Amino acid sequence: MVTERITIHGTHCSSCEKTITRTLAKEGVKVESISHKTGKATITHDSIPHDRIDAMLQSKGYGIEKCRDGTCTPDDMHKHQPLSEKTFDTERRIITNGILALIILVATQIGLVYAIYSIMPGYSSKYMLPLIYIPVAVVTNLVALWHQRAYRREVSCMTGMMIGMTIGMTSGFVIGGISGLINGMFTGSVIGTAIGIAAGVYAGRCCGTMGMMEGMMAGLMSGTMGAMLTVMMIGDHVEAFLIILIAITILILAGLMRVTVEETRGSENDVKPWPLWAVVGVGFIAMTVISAAIMLAPKSIYG
């Protein structure tokens, strides 16, 4: 048996210590001691190669730190090299399919507006643009979630909490804002909060309870804030504000996608993007449920 000290990067809390201990134990590596504050760990194993131990840790969002004084060993060089061709191909596929899904769902939503929503009681022609914003909000958040789960299903606590918070916040804020404009503060807050919490919890589950809690809190706050802002801005360029809001959320989600790519360098073989039909199918369900809830709920003075 071999006992050695290693430095693990990506540790942020006591949950990280437990995750690392369980992960390594499954492969016959015993963690004698570990500190999330320093990343230092003492492990005992039966001469298991570092590459294999590092692969175990990377599957959970961590890794063995091998850089010293600006010099990196060959095993760690992938973190300092340009993105691989496979990563570029994956990014092109995800972005291309995301754009196709957006076009399909926007066209579908326009058809639904003219065929169904426009003949429902209380419909106003002013609702056309806000309803079209719904598939945009749905697809952008769905693609960001799709992107993260394509690269890695489990991540470190800090990254997972950021994922849950970001997607919970962006989805709840935009949907809450759209519903608040059409339905008023109460209904907008309820719908926005429900969507934000659902999206945040699902996104945050990649790191367990802490990520789910962060996503839930983000959804709770963002749904209410989005509805409040659009209600306050009725009659004051609120449509332009929604465009700016959606554009900003797209930039935020693009940043989140960049973080995912940077953290998964060297493990591109594990990338498994969802097929286009899955994104369109899930997006269609989310879009129609949100749109139906908005159209069936009581309306605000906006119309």
Give me the domains of the chain, ranges plus CATH numbers. 2-80 (3.30.70.100), 85-296 (no CATH)
Please state the rounded mean pLDDT for residues 106-134.
91
Element (H, E) at 133: helix 128-151
Instruction: List all residues 6 or more positions away from 103 whose beta carbon is below 8 Å from its beta carbon.
Output: none
pLDDT of the residue at 161: 84
Question: What is d(CA 135, CA 100) in angstroms, rounded to the nearest whole number?
Answer: 12
Render pLDDT for 63-92 as a digit per residue (tens, 0 to 9).
777 654 445 444 444 444 555 677 777 788
pLDDT of the residue at 2: 81
Question: What is d(CA 109, CA 291) in angstroms, rounded to the nearest whole number?
Answer: 9
Render pLDDT for 219-250 as a digit per residue (tens, 0 to 9).
999 999 999 998 888 878 888 899 999 999 99
Say yes or no to pLDDT of 59 above 80: no
Looking at the DSSP assignment, which residues form a beta bridge with residue 30? Answer: 44
Look at residue 25 and give its three-state secondary structure.
helix
- Report yes or no: 216 and 201 within 8 Å, Cβ to Cβ: yes
Look at residue 248 and give its three-state secondary structure.
helix
Looking at the DSSP assignment, which residues form a beta bridge with residue 44? Answer: 3, 30
pLDDT of the residue at 36: 79
pLDDT of the residue at 268: 52
Q: Give the residue among 272, 259, 41, 160 at the shortest CA–CA distance from 50.
A: 41
pLDDT of the residue at 278: 86
Looking at the DSSP assignment, which residues form a beta bridge with residue 3? Answer: 44
CB atoms within 10 A of CB 252: 16
- Report yes or no: 181 and 297 within 8 Å, Cβ to Cβ: no
Element (H, E) at 82: none
Looking at the DSSP assignment, which residues form a beta bridge with residue 41? Answer: 6, 34
pTM more than 0.95: no
Question: What is d(CA 187, CA 272) in angstroms, rounded to the nearest whole number?
Answer: 38
Query: Mean pLDDT across the chain, nearest whole number?
Result: 83
DSSP characters over 155-202: --HHHHHHHHHHHHHHHHHHHHHHHHHHH-HHHHHHHHHHHHHHHHHH
